[in-house]
Chains A and B, each alone.
Chain A
C-alpha cells in the first residue's frame, strides 16, 4: 500500500481517523457489492424461493440446477463460441496493427506524422453511433450482414486508436540506440521491430490484450446491428434473447449472467494490474 495519505499525514498521538475511515469504507464496499451479491444469490436459489421474496437471504443449501440448465442449453454454447470467434481474432489483429502503426509513429516519424497520429487517436473519442449507418450499408452491400465478419472488422478498426496510442508511447521508451545498433548490424526495420522492440514490449501487449478482450467480449452494440439470426448472436445478445425464454426463471438468468461474465472476471482477477495500468495509461496520455 502506498504510504502517501492526503487525509492524515504521519500521526503522532492517538488518531481516530483510520478507524473511522475503515468503517466508512467497509460500509461503502458492502453497498457496492450488494448488487452483484443479488445475482450470485439468485443463481444458487430456485425460482420459487426468489418469487417468494427470499432472494436476499443466505441460502442454507446450494442449488445448482440453474447452472445445469444454462450449461445444457446448446444456444449458450453457440453464443460463447461465437463470442470467442469474434474476440480472439479481433483482439490479435487490432494489437498487430497497433504495433505496426505505433512503431512508425514512435521510431520512424515523418513530416505530418504527428497530425496523422492525432487523427487516429481522435477515433477513440467519438460515439460509435456516428458511423453506424454507413457501416451497415457497407457490409450490407458486400453481403456480410448476419455473419460475424463485420463485428470482427469493426472491432479491429475501433481498437486501432487505443492500440496505436499505447504502443507508440511504449516504443518511445525503447532507446533509439538499440534500433541504430541493430540497423548497423544489417537488420532491416521488420527485424528491428520483431526481434528488438517486440520482445521488450510484452508488458504493453499484455495491457492491450486485457483491455481489448474485455471490451470486445462485453460489446453489445455491434453484434446488435450486424447480426440477426440466433445462430450468429454473441453472448451478450444471447443473454438478452434468453431473458425472454427464461422470463420468470430469475435463478437461471442469474446463472447466465455469471457464466457470460466469467471470462472477463477471470481476466480481471489475473491481469488486474494490467487492466488498471491500461485504463490510466490511455487516460493520462489521452
Chain B
C-alpha cells in the first residue's frame, strides 16, 4: 500500500518537478555560473573571468544610478498603492450605496497589460494634448506643454504614478477582505466609549489590519521588483538613464550590448535582493501568524 502510494507520488510529481527544475531551478543556478564568465550571447566559447563582472559593478556609474532608482521605485511603488488602497478600502467599506461598483472601478486596471497601461499614461503625459497639461492649463489658464516623460526630473515619478494607478486596486481588495474580519461589536464599543473616527481608525482598525498590511506590502515588493515592462514601455530607462532600474539595466547590458556575463552578474544581485526581502517577509509572516493565529 505504502509502496503503491510512493509510485503514485512519483508519477504525479515527475512532470511538474521536471519542468520546474529544467526551466526555473537550473537557469537560476546557471545565472550564477554565467556571472563569472564573459559570454557574449552568440559564441560557443567564453572564458571564466572570476569576480571581474562583480568588480565592474562597483565602478559602473550606470549600475549605481540604476540601484538608486530601484530603491526610489520600490519605496514609492510600495507606499503609494498601499496607502491609497487602504484609504479606498476604508471609504468603500463604510455604508455607502454602490460599493461594489466603486470596487470594480478601482480594481479593473489590474487586468490591463503593462503595454496598455503604458500607452494610456503616455497619452496623459503627452505634451500638446495630454490630459495632465490640458487640465493644468484649463485650471490656471497657462499655456504649458511640458513633456513629463522626456525630462530627467519627472520621468521616473511619472511612471510611478502610472504604476500606482494600476496597483492600487489590488491592495484595496486585500484591505477590504481584511476589514470584513473586524467585528462590528468592537467598533460599536468604540462609538459608545466616545472614540472619534480618527481614533477608531488609528487605534483599532489599522492595528487589526496588520495581517492584510503584511500581505499588501509583500505583494507590492514582489510586483515592484518585477516592474520592468511598464518602464520599458514608457521611458525605456531614459531620458539619460534617469528612470533606469536594475532590471532595465540588466536587460540593456545583456540584450542590447550582449554582455551576457555582466548581465548575469546584475541578475545575481537582483536575485540576492529578492532573496533578502523574501526572507524578511517569511519571518514577519511567521510572527504575524503567531500573534493573530
Q: List the interface of chain A (C-beta within 8 A of B).
A: 1-11, 17-18, 21-22, 24-25, 28-29, 32-36, 38-39, 42, 50-51, 53, 55-56, 97-98, 100-101, 103-104, 108, 110, 116, 119-120, 122-138, 153-154, 156-158, 160, 164, 188-190, 193, 214, 217-221, 225, 236, 239-240, 243, 250, 253, 257, 260-261, 264-265, 267-268, 272, 275-276, 279-280, 283-284, 286
The residues of B with any CB-CB pair to A shorter than 8 Å are: 4-6, 8-9, 11-13, 15-17, 19-20, 22-28, 30-31, 34, 39, 41, 88, 90-100, 102, 104-116, 119-121, 123-124, 128-129, 131, 134, 165, 170, 173-174, 176-177, 179-180, 182, 184, 187-188, 190-191, 197, 200-201, 205, 215-216, 218-219, 222, 225-226, 228-229, 232-233, 247, 250-251, 254-255, 260, 263-264, 267-268, 270-271, 274, 278, 285
Main secondary structure of the interface of B (DSSP, over half): helix
Given A6-B205, A261-B113, decide whether A134 and B30 contact each other with a Cβ distance below 8 A: yes
Decide: B23 and A100 in contact? CB cutoff 8 A.
no
Pair A18/B96 contact, Cβ less than 8 Å: yes
A28 (CB) vs chain B CBs: closest residue = B88
Residues of chain B contacted by A103 (CB below 8 angstroms)? 12
- A-side contacts of B120, CB under 8 Å: 35-36, 38-39, 257
19 contacts between A and B (CB under 8 A): A5-B93, A5-B95, A17-B197, A36-B120, A56-B131, A100-B13, A108-B12, A127-B226, A127-B247, A132-B250, A137-B30, A138-B27, A157-B22, A158-B23, A257-B119, A265-B111, A272-B104, A280-B174, A286-B285
Cβ contacts under 8 Å, A125 to chain B:
222, 274, 278
- Would A133 and B94 be within 8 Å (CB), given that A9-B187, A108-B5, A153-B23 are in contact? no
Assess the A56–B134 pair: CB atoms within 8 A: yes
- Pick from B26, B119, B218: contact of A286, CB below 8 A: B218
